[in-house]
Amino acid sequence: MDLLNTLVDKGLRRELPTREEALAVLATSDDDLLDVVAAAGRVRRQWFGRRVKLNYLVNLKSGLCPEDCSYCSQRLGSTAEILKYTWLKPDEASQAAAAGVAGGAKRVCLVASGRGPTDRDVDRVSKTIEAIKERNEGVEVCACLGLLSEGQAERLREAGADAYNHNLNTSEATYGDITTTHTYADRVDTVQKAHGAGLSACSGLIAGMGESDGDLVDVVFALRELDPDSVPVNFLIPFEGTPLAKEWNLTPQRALRILAMVRFVCPDVEVRLAGGREVHLRTLQPLALHLVNSIFLGDYLTSEGQAGRADLEMIADAGFEVEGADTATLPAHRVDAASGGCGSQGGGGCAPCGDTAGDTAGDTGQQAAGTPGARPDLVSVRRRGAGTGLAPNA
C-alpha cells in the first residue's frame, strides 16, 4: 500500500505526515489492519527496538474532584462507586510504589484528583517523592496533579520529580463538550509550565468519547507541536455513573488503528498504551506492543487492570522485553535535545486526572451499549492497592 510505504519512510526520517495521511490510517479497513500494524511496527522498532517500558500508577487521592470532566469516574456529580479517600501519607505511597517497582516498573506515576495542587499539596507530594526515591534507588517519578500555578513545576523538580503529566485528552474544537470547569488552553499552559521547568513533559489523549477522526488527528497533531517526551493513549472506560457511560464506540481494530496513527505522527516519542486497553483491545493487546513502547503495569486509578504477571507474560510471549532501569527510553537525539537531567532519564507519563480511561467518522466498527462488542462486564472498579488494606496488583 503506497500510503503505508510513505508513512514508514517519513517515520524513519522523523518527518511529520500530512493531516490527510493520518486520517487515511484511521479510514483503513479491517482487511488491511495487519499491514497497518506491521508498517507502524517498523517505525516503533527503529526508535525503540523491542523494549517495553513499565510504569506504575499510585493514586494519592481518590474521588471528590470539583471538575466536571465527563469521562472521569472521580468528577463532580459522579455516582460511580469508586474508592474515595484523602491524601496517602508519604510512607503509604512509598509502599504502594515499591510493589510496582518490584514488578518491573522503572517509573512511578503519582496522581491526585482535583483541579490542581495548592502549595501545601506540592509540599505533601514533595515529601512523597523523597520517600519513594529513598526507598527505591534509581526509580523515575512522574507527578500528575492537575493544573499548575506559577513556580509549582520548579518546586516539584527540586523535590526530585522527573516528569509531569497533563493530558490534552481531545481536540480544542470539542474540548468544551467534555469539560466546562477549565479550558483546553489551561491544559496546554500546564504542559508548557512543566516543560519550561525542565521536567520531562507527558501529555496524551482519550479515544472513544464520541470524537470524529478529525478530532483524533487534531489532538495528536497538537501534541506533536507541544513535543512531549511521552504520549499516553487512553481508551475511554465507560463507567456507570458518568455522562459517557453509554459511549461504547471502539472495536479492538479501531483501537489499533488509533495507536498506529499516533506512532506515525509521533515516531520517536514514547507512546504509552494506557487506561482501557483490557476493555477495548482485549485479546488483541499483544498486537498493540508492535505500536507502543510503554504500558502501565497492573491497576489504574479507579479501575482494575489485568494481573501484573499476565502483563509480563504477554510481553515475553509477543517477543518483546521489559526495559531495564539502566536503559534510556528515548532515542539519543531526543535525550541530547532534552533540557536538564530529567530528559536523560528517558521521558515518562501518567494518566488523566480521572481514569484512563459517538459518531466516529470513517470507522466501520462502531458499537453501542448493549451490542455484542460492548463489554461493560470488563469495567471493574479498583478495590485493592492504594487506599485499601489489600495487596496491590503488580
Distance CA 170, CA 247 (A): 15
Q: Which pLDDT belongs to residue 76?
A: 66
Helices assigned H by DSSP within the chain: 2-12, 19-26, 33-48, 90-102, 119-135, 152-158, 175-178, 184-196, 213-226, 252-265, 277-280, 285-288, 308-317, 332-337, 340-344
Specify binding-site residues for [4Fe-4S] cluster: 65, 69, 72
Asked if residues 139 and 133 have their Cβ atoms less than 8 Å apart, the reply is yes
What is the CA 109 to chain-centroid distance, rounded? 10
Q: Output the nine-digit C-alpha cell for 304.
A: 482494575
Which one of 44, 75, 142, 334 is the catalytic residue?
142
- Of 250, 246, 294, 312, which Cα lies nearest the Cα of 276? 250
* Residue of 44, 107, 157, 272 marked catalytic: 272
Which cell goes with 279?
Answer: 476493555
* Backbone torsions φ then ψ of 243, nearest 5 degrees: -60, -25
Q: What is d(CA 55, CA 169) in angstroms, rounded to the nearest whole number?
A: 19
State the DSSP string of 246-275: T-----HHHHHHHHHHHHHHSTTSEEEE-T
Per-position pLDDT tens, the chain of length 394: 899 999 999 999 999 999 999 999 999 999 999 999 999 999 999 999 999 999 999 999 887 788 888 887 777 677 777 778 889 999 999 999 999 999 999 999 999 988 999 999 999 999 999 999 999 888 999 999 999 999 999 999 999 999 999 999 999 999 999 899 999 999 999 999 999 999 999 999 999 999 999 999 999 999 999 999 999 999 998 888 888 888 999 999 999 999 999 999 999 999 999 999 999 999 999 999 999 999 999 887 777 788 889 999 999 999 999 999 899 999 999 987 664 333 333 333 344 443 444 333 334 344 444 445 788 877 877 877 777 777 887 7
Rounded CA-CA distance 37/119 in Å is: 45
Note whether 62 and 113 are within 8 A (CB): yes
For residues 34 and 22, give the distance between their C-alpha atoms in angstroms, rounded to a whole number.
Answer: 17
Q: Number of helices (H) and strands (E) in the chain: give both, helices first.
A: 15, 10
144 is catalytic: no
State residue 17's pLDDT score: 98
Could you confirm whether 142 is annotated as catalytic?
A: yes
Which of 220, 208, 340 shows the shortest CA–CA distance to 281? 208
Check if 272 is active-site: yes
Q: Examine the residue annotation and report whether 350 is marked as an active-site residue of this protein.
A: no
**Burial class, 20, CB count within 10 angstroms (exposed 0-12 / middle 13-18 / buried 19+):** exposed
- List Cβ neighbours of 313 (8 Å cut-off, separation of 6 or more): none
Binding site for [2Fe-2S] cluster: what residues are annotated?
109, 142, 202, 272
| Rounded Cα distance, 39 and 312, in Å | 25
Q: What is the pLDDT of residue 372?
A: 53
Non-local CB neighbours of 138 within 8 Å, separated by 6+ positions: 325, 326
Options 3.40.50.1110, 3.40.50.11540, 3.20.20.70, 3.40.190.10; CATH for 1-323 is 3.20.20.70
Identify whether 42 is a catalytic site residue.
Answer: no
Q: Where are the domains of the chain?
A: 1-323
What's the CA gap between 240 and 248, in Å, rounded?
12
Catalytic residue among 65, 144, 342, 353: 65
Amino acid 345: pLDDT: 36
Rounded distance between C-alpha atoms, residue 91 and residue 97, angstroms:
10
Per-residue CA distances from 310 to 53, 122, 198, 199 (Å) = 15, 35, 35, 32
Query: How much is the pLDDT for 357?
Result: 47
Q: Of the listed 44, 75, 107, 109, which one is catalytic? A: 109
Give the residue numbers of the binding site.
65, 69, 72, 109, 142, 202, 272
358 in Cβ contact with 210 (< 8 Å): yes
Angle at 23 between CA 272 and CA 264, to 5 degrees: 40
C-alpha distances in angstroms, 12 versus 36, 45, 218, 254, 392? 15, 10, 22, 24, 39
Q: Which of 75, 107, 202, 263 is catalytic?
A: 202
